[in-house]
């Protein structure tokens, strides 16, 4: 089944079922892709010969059970992890052939864990996102300033600009980190579990922000834990299990009760979400 899905995805038209935004009927272009990559850590292999293409202009979400290799894949796509074989391509060239700052100008990453130095203010932290664009003597150009202001406003933390990051709530802090990545002004955004540890209201708030960014033309790739959130917001879903891609495509096409049971081992019912008209997964009691 996964083979057929893959076939159809390559030529499918991507239509976001919520906004109805249709980029036009064409095979999807992909600036970022992984070609036959094998990934692993210190002798332990996570994925073998994985092929993944990230659709441009889409909001791709990778889902799967714990330790299925989704974070590993994201790390490989963001150059944090080097594949043991195969290569990750960015704009046609192998990603490791670019300079570090060059990659950082094209691809932004929100890592799972980051440390906010003690005593740093919101604006200071967001301003650090401008590093890839700065030089020794060009440390605060007008473009830098504008980018920071824009990022602060987009994430709704402009009012917190002068506050210490330590004093913020978990939700606010996560938004600040997102603002830092936004300040980088990259067309591609990779987000590793951006909504974990946030309460539901903040999760939705962040996901709505991501959707808005996607609508403005940015390509997003996120690893999400919550399958229903993924269904609701993704334009392209990649389901992984045991290091391999089991299914990918539009959530409406891909998410079925059989898939969820196969990937997560969870018997469930899939219905149509009455608000967003995307698949809604309802677990069945055992």
Q: Least distance (Å) from another protein to the CB of residue 215?
A: 24
Tell me how far apart the alpha carbons of residues 248 and 253 are, in angstroms, rounded to a whole number.
9
Sign, CA dihedral 208-213-219-222, equals negative
Q: Least distance (Å) from another protein to the CB of residue 202?
A: 15
Q: Are strands 85-90 and 93-94 parallel, antiparallel or unpaired?
A: antiparallel
What CA–CA distances, in Å, run from 229 to 13, 16, 39, 145? 22, 14, 27, 34
Of 21 and 140, the one with the shorter C-beta distance to another protein is: 140
Q: Least distance (Å) from another protein to the CB of residue 4?
A: 25
Q: Which value, in Å, is the radius of gyration of the alpha carbons in the chain? A: 19
Q: Least distance (Å) from another protein to the CB of residue 144?
A: 8
Tell me how far apart the alpha carbons of residues 161 and 147 are, in angstroms, rounded to a whole number.
14
Q: Map the footprint of another protein across residues 256-285, applying CB under 8 A.
A: 264, 266, 281, 283
Of 6 and 262, the one with the shorter C-beta distance to another protein is: 262
**Site pattern 49..88 for another protein (x: CB under 8 A):** ----------------xx-----------xxx--------
Tokens 């796509």 correspond to 77
Of 15 and 84, the one with the shorter C-beta distance to another protein is: 84
Angle at 109 between CA 220 and CA 76, to 5 degrees: 90
Tell me how far apart the alpha carbons of residues 230 and 236 are, in angstroms, rounded to a whole number.
9
SS3 assignment, position 244: strand
Q: Least distance (Å) from another protein to the CB of residue 190?
A: 8
Is 286 a binding residue for another protein by CB under 8 A? The answer is: no
Q: Least distance (Å) from another protein to the CB of residue 43?
A: 12
Q: Map the footprint of another protein across residues 85-144, applying CB under 8 A.
A: 99-105, 108-124, 127-129, 131-132, 134, 136-142, 144
Of 6 and 105, the one with the shorter C-beta distance to another protein is: 105
Q: Which residues pair with 283 in a beta bridge?
A: 268
The region of 45-53, 83-91, 157-165, 209-217 touching another protein under the rule CB under 8 A is 157-165
Tell me how far apart the alpha carbons of residues 181 and 100 are, in angstroms, rounded to a whole number.
16
Among 164, 244, 252, 257, binds another protein (CB under 8 A): 164
């Amino acid at each position: 089944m996964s083979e057929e899905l893959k076939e159809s995805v390559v030529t499918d038209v991507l239509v976001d079922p919520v906004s109805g935004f249709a980029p036009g009927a064409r095979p999807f272009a992909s600036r970022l892709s992984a070609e036959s990559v094998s990934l692993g850590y210190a002798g332990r292999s996570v994925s073998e010969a994985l092929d993944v293409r990230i659709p441009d202009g889409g909001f791709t979400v990778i889902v799967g059970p714990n330790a299925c290799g989704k974070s590993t894949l994201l790390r490989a796509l963001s150059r944090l992890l080097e594949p043991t074989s195969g290569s990750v391509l960015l704009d046609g060239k192998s990603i490791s052939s670019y300079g570090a700052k060059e990659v950082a100008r094209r691809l932004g990453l929100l890592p799972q864990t980051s440390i906010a130095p003690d005593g740093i203010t919101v604006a200071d932290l967001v301003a650090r996102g401008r590093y890839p664009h700065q030089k020794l003597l060009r440390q605060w150009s007008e473009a830098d300033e504008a980018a920071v202001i824009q990022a602060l406003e987009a994430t709704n933390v402009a009012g917190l600009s002068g506050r210490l990051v330590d004093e913020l709530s978990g939700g606010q802090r996560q938004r600040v980190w997102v603002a830092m990545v936004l300040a980088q002004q990259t067309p591609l955004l990779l987000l590793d579990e951006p909504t974990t540890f946030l309460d539901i209201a903040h999760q939705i708030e962040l996901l709505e922000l991501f959707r808005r960014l996607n609508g403005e033309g940015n390509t997003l790739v996120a690893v999400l834990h919550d399958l229903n959130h993924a269904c609701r917001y993704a334009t392209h879903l990649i389901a992984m299990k045991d290091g391999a891609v089991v299914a990918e495509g539009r959530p409406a096409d891909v998410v079925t009760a059989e898939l969820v049971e196969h990937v997560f081992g969870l018997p469930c019912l899939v219905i149509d979400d009455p608000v967003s008209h995307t698949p809604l997964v309802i677990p069945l009691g055992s």
